[in-house]
Amino acid sequence: MRLALAFAAVVALTFAQDPKPPDAPKGPVAKDEAEAKLINTTIAETDANKRVTELDEWSQKYPQTEFADQRQLLYLVTYTQLKKNREAFDKAKEILAKHPDDFPALSTILTFGPTFNNNNPNQADFDTTIAAANYIIDNADKVFADSNRPATVTATDWPKVRPYWEPQSRHVIAQMWLNRKDNAKSEEELRKMTARWPNDALLDQMLGQVILAQNKTNPEKQPLALFYYARAACYDGEGALPEANRKTLQSGFLIRAYKTYHGDQQGFDELCATAKANPAPPADFKVKSTADLAQEKQDAETAAAKNNPAGALWKTIKDGLTGATSDQFFESVKDAGLPGKDPSDQSKDLKWKGKIVSMTPAIRPKTLVLAVENPAGDVTLKFEMPLPGKMDVGSEIEFSGTAKAFTKDPYMLTLETEKELISGWKPVAAPATKKSGATKKAQ
């Protein structure tokens, strides 16, 4: 840039000293020898602080100059070198007022604007930065045209500028909304952006972030947050995050957030596949929360209890006797008649069903081991008076009794009962035996 300006200044000085200047000089011309000297001094200055002083002197002595655009650019670059972001930003605004396509000014606005006020610029700076970003987005063909290449960028590098700054412009807009800490408004704006650019994974990640930030006020939105994070982590087409970033997001934050919300990893692969294939959640998209799953379980247990109250009571007893406080629970049911009365009709006595696993003794047993759930047996019935005959193993009976003992692992509940409290005991008839004496008599 300095070489380009120096060349222009030398030409200007030549014209200023030539008593017969060309009729149509090419490029800007210094007003007089004094301005030419100021220009050459300024652009030759290597100390950025001194250069600002020289630029100010030039501006004061020659407010109107044919080198106005070059002077503005030199101010812009010098302020940037000095890290005077405020001054560079304001100078860029001045340049854009006259040259809205000026790339160095547009990129300066997008670079410094978002950083003001601890990354939360005031409304004026916010609006200026958003406007500059939108201008690049809406006028990219003009901004990045070959004819608009600034002197500070080589012809070789210029084609590389658009692929970076065009998406960067929308990312700046999204990040600025994110930094406003108005999550509802940010969500609204980012939804518009993801609709316009459906394959921009970084926008998806930002949208997931602002939705997740509403967890306390709008917990029902959390499946949407998971979807957009999954879109960022699982989508691998054009506009995707770098592979390493995707893997880190998927195996780190996303899986933890999913398990926290859903309770386990079940369904995670389906979430990833859905988000990868769809830029927005399908109409039937849903991720069940731990609360949803708990309610479903409760509803299922309520329905089961209504349709099978004996089965529901069996589960309650077993859960209590295999839980952390099994001994205390047993004290609450010891010597109680189980399964007891029907909760919905106290006039009815309930019975459990079980299949015979073993009998002791084999005939006229006083002890039966039954299988209610576990084929190896989970209930032992003890009788004071033996049952008549015997039944085949695997036969089913219904029973009730008084709780007397239990073992937690393997689970076994022991009940004392009597023949009148069981149903379905049908002794197998003993096989007939031949009497040898009668046979001989018949012969």
Q: What is the mean pLDDT of the chain?
A: 90
Closest CA relative to residue 304, chosen from 264, 343, 356: 343
H or E stretch covering 330? helix 326-333
- Mean pLDDT of the 389-412 span: 96
Domain ranges in the chain are 2-195, 196-305, 308-423
> Angle of helix 2-17 relative to helix 33-44, nearest 10 degrees?
160
Q: Say yes or no to pLDDT of 12 above 70.
A: no
Predicted confidence band of residue 374 (pLDDT cuts 50, 70, 90): very high
Q: What is the pTM of this model?
A: 0.70
- Mean pLDDT of the 394-415 span: 96
361 preceded by cis ω (within 30°)? yes
pLDDT for 227: 97
Asked if 1 and 152 touch (Cβ cutoff 8 Å), the reply is yes
Predicted confidence band of residue 103 (pLDDT cuts 50, 70, 90): very high
Inter-CA distances, 403 with 242, 338, 406, 416, Å:
64, 7, 8, 7
- Mean pLDDT of the 128-151 span: 96
pLDDT for 301: 78
pLDDT for 442: 44
pLDDT for 2: 42
Q: Which residues contact 279 (CB under 8 A, 6 or more apart)?
A: 194, 198, 199, 231
Q: Where are the alpha helices (DSSP H) in 180-267?
A: 183-196, 201-212, 222-234, 243-249, 255-262
Asked if 204 and 232 touch (Cβ cutoff 8 Å), the reply is yes
Among 3-12, 45-54, 85-94, 205-214, name the one with the lowest average pLDDT: 3-12
pLDDT digits (tens, 9 = 90+) for 140-151: 999 999 999 998
pLDDT for 113: 97
With vertex at residue 221, the alpha carbon angle to CA 218 and CA 225, rounded to the nearest 5 degrees, is 125
Q: Say yes or no to pLDDT of 187 above 60.
A: yes
Among 1-5, 45-49, 114-118, 331-335, name the one with the lowest average pLDDT: 1-5
Q: Where are the alpha helices (DSSP H) in 113-157?
A: 116-119, 123-138, 140-143
Closest CA relative to residue 58, chosen from 89, 31, 22, 18: 31
Q: Which residues contact 211 (CB under 8 A, 6 or more apart)?
A: 183, 187, 221, 222, 224, 225, 228
pLDDT for 173: 98
- Mean pLDDT of the 332-344 span: 91
Of residues 20 and 273, more confidence is placed in 273
Of residues 304 and 376, more confidence is placed in 376
Closest CA relative to residue 413, chosen from 342, 348, 333: 333
Predicted confidence band of residue 23 (pLDDT cuts 50, 70, 90): low
The C-alpha atoms of residue 325 and residue 27 are separated, in whole angstroms, by: 93
pLDDT for 271: 97
Q: Say yes or no to pLDDT of 384 above 50.
A: yes
User: How far apart are the two ends of the chain, measured CA to CA in Å?
Assistant: 136
pLDDT digits (tens, 9 = 90+) for 284-327: 999 999 988 988 888 887 787 788 899 889 999 999 999 999 99
Of residues 34 and 296, more confidence is placed in 34
- Mean pLDDT of the 402-423 span: 96
Predicted confidence band of residue 354 (pLDDT cuts 50, 70, 90): very high
pLDDT for 4: 43
- Mean pLDDT of the 223-248 span: 97
Predicted confidence band of residue 26 (pLDDT cuts 50, 70, 90): low
- Mean pLDDT of the 164-191 span: 96
Q: Say yes or no to pLDDT of 439 above 70.
A: no
Question: Could you say which architecture CATH assigns to the domain 308-423?
Answer: Beta Barrel (2.40)
Predicted confidence band of residue 251 (pLDDT cuts 50, 70, 90): very high
Inter-CA distances, 327 with 321, 322, 323, 332, Å:
7, 9, 9, 9
Among 47-56, 167-176, 341-350, name the one with the lowest average pLDDT: 341-350
